[in-house]
Amino acid sequence: MSQFKTIDDLELSGRRTLVRVDFNVPIRDGKITDNSRIVRVLPTIRDLKAQGAKIVLMAHFGRPKGNVVPEMSLAPVVEGLSDALGGEKVVFANNCIGAEVSTQIDALANGEILLLENLRFHAGEEANDASFAQELAKLGDVYINDAFSAAHRAHASTDGLARLLPAAAGRLMQTELEHLSQALGQPKRPLAALVGGAKVSTKLDLLSNLVGKVDVLVIGGGMANTFLNAQGIEVGRSLCEHEMADTARAILKEAEAQNCKVMLPSDVVVAETLAENVPTSTVETSSVPDNQMILDAGSQTAQEIIAELKNCKTLVWNGPLGCFETEPFDAATNSVAQAAATLTVSEELLTVAGGGDTVAALVHAGADENFSYISTAGGAFLEWLEGKTLPGVKALEDAA
């Protein structure tokens, strides 16, 4: 578990408190469609209010690459945050640095909240530019990072700034790291990881790290095809990275050396095209027709995975087992997710999941609420599972 200061270690009453949050939320037609990332920061905001801090929230939105892009303004988040706080006043600043922002901060009463405009409107943010970090530092007395989901970025607001002011982790940052280390740091064993998704190439580091840590590795989604094919199984017109065959074989060999049991589909659902309610059939993995593609794991595979999970104490989940957005190719993901949720409720299994499409798949399966922990992070969750050092976490550790 990481060692860093927390809100409890700082004197915050009346102090200008710069809080890095991740409000990179989905917005459609000016409306927030999923406010989880806002809701999950509320414990920090409430604690800061209780301590009488002047709360200055800093965040990014989208990838404007140093330009002022009006569609990527954080202004629509003001209402969403205010609603989440039960109608509390949230002031907005049209910039994230400068004299005007400073005046707005000085005008805050203790416990009041100011949200700054998108940090990425300035190129200095992503460049982790020292003078931009200085400009941010001028606005505050202390710094809190509550953006675990942006901690894989070494940007001015996640790295440089943490080195200029007294720095601590917010409640969400603490919670994320506690749960992730419970899942992979000191897990109750047997420990299983379920890794799905389209491509092996994007999850290579993840798979390589996991085979040395977990007892069971379930591989699903398109990337399973690459593993099957690397073992000489014909996968028809399925998504398959033929150039990754050697890599896939190396991972399987390493898994064997590490005593990690790898589970690949034994049966699969195939169709001619990926579309809603096309004709499908379920076949043994060894008999995929030439003109068909694998779009989901079969029900026998799902049952095998569930049986294995019953013997496990911890599950880390990243990526769906099939093309869950298109019915009926959500079936394997749904049944395994629901079984994992049931085992969680009966306290037989600790379940931790993260990653954008993973959470969407669990919500779709109606299983998310019964998981032990769902991370707010996408890319950062993946990099954490890969065993990488997250710059945003490292900066807090260095400051401790």
Task: Note whether 118 binds ligand 3PG by CB under 6 A.
Answer: no
Stretch that binds ligand 3PG, among 106-114, 145-153, 307-315, 386-394 (CB under 6 A): 145-153
Give me the catalytic one of 14, 52, 62, 356. Answer: 356
Q: Are strands 293-297 and 267-271 parallel, antiparallel or unpaired?
A: antiparallel
Task: Give the residue, chosen from 55, 150, 162, 297, that forms a contact with ligand 3PG under the rule CB under 6 A.
Answer: 150
Could you give the CA distance from residue 117 to residue 208 in angstroms, rounded to a whole number? Answer: 39
Stretch that binds ligand 3PG, among 8-16, 147-155, 286-294, 334-342 (CB under 6 A): 147-155
Stretch that binds ligand 3PG, among 149-157, 218-226, 309-317, 363-371 (CB under 6 A): 149-157
Least Cα distance to 172 among 20, 25, 300, 64 occurs for 20
Pull the structure tokens for residue 7: 């809100």
Question: Is the Cβ of residue 127 or residue 262 nearer to ligand 3PG in the bound state?
Answer: 127
Question: Is the Cβ of residue 22 or residue 304 nearer to ligand 3PG in the bound state?
Answer: 22
Give me the catalytic one of 5, 49, 163, 199. Answer: 199
Taking residue 334's Cβ as centre, other Cβ atoms within 10 Å add up to 23
Torsion of CA 25, 27, 30, 34, to 10 degrees: -70
Instruction: Give catalytic status of residue 199 as yes or no.
Output: yes
Binding mask 153-182 for ligand 3PG (x = CB under 6 A): x-----------------------------
Could you give the CA distance from residue 376 to residue 219 in angstroms, rounded to a whole number? Answer: 23
Interacting residues with Mg ion (CB under 5 A): 378-379
Window 294 to 313, contacts with ligand 3PG (CB under 6 A): none
24 binds, among ligand 3PG, Mg ion, none (CB under 5 to 8 A by kind): ligand 3PG
Could you give the CA distance from residue 340 to residue 368 in angstroms, rounded to a whole number? Answer: 10
Give me the catalytic one of 37, 120, 171, 203. Answer: 37
Reported as type and span, the H/E element at residue 248 is helix 245-257
Task: Note whether 63 binds ligand 3PG by CB under 6 A.
Answer: yes
Instruction: Give catalytic status of residue 313 as yes or no.
Output: no
Tell me how many helices (H) and strands (E) the chain has: 15, 17
190 binds, among ligand 3PG, Mg ion, none (CB under 5 to 8 A by kind): none
Task: Give the residue, chosen from 18, 22, 105, 247, that forms a contact with ligand 3PG under the rule CB under 6 A.
Answer: 22
Window 331 to 390, contacts with ligand 3PG (CB under 6 A): 378-379
Residue with the two structure tokens 């940090």? 119
Question: Is the Cβ of residue 16 or residue 20 nearer to Mg ion in the bound state?
Answer: 20
22 binds, among Mg ion, ligand 3PG, none (CB under 5 to 8 A by kind): ligand 3PG
Q: Are strands 314-318 and 281-284 parallel, antiparallel or unpaired?
A: unpaired
Could you give the CA distance from residue 336 to residue 328 in angstroms, rounded to a whole number? Answer: 15
Could you give the CA distance from residue 175 to residue 197 in angstroms, rounded to a whole number? Answer: 26
Pull the structure tokens for residue 45: 């905001």
**Could you please report the per-residue DSSP string of 294-334?**
EEEE-HHHHHHHHHHHHT-SEEEEES-SS-TTSTTTTHHHH
Instruction: Give catalytic status of residue 310 as yes or no.
Output: no
In the complex, least distance from residue 150 CB atom to ligand 3PG, rounded to whole angstroms: 5
Could you give the CA distance from residue 139 to residue 147 in angstroms, rounded to a whole number? Answer: 19
Instruction: Give catalytic status of residue 80 as yes or no.
Output: no
The contact set with ligand 3PG (CB under 6 A) reads 22, 24, 63, 149-150, 153, 378-379
Any idea which residues carry the catalytic annotation?
A: 37, 199, 356, 379
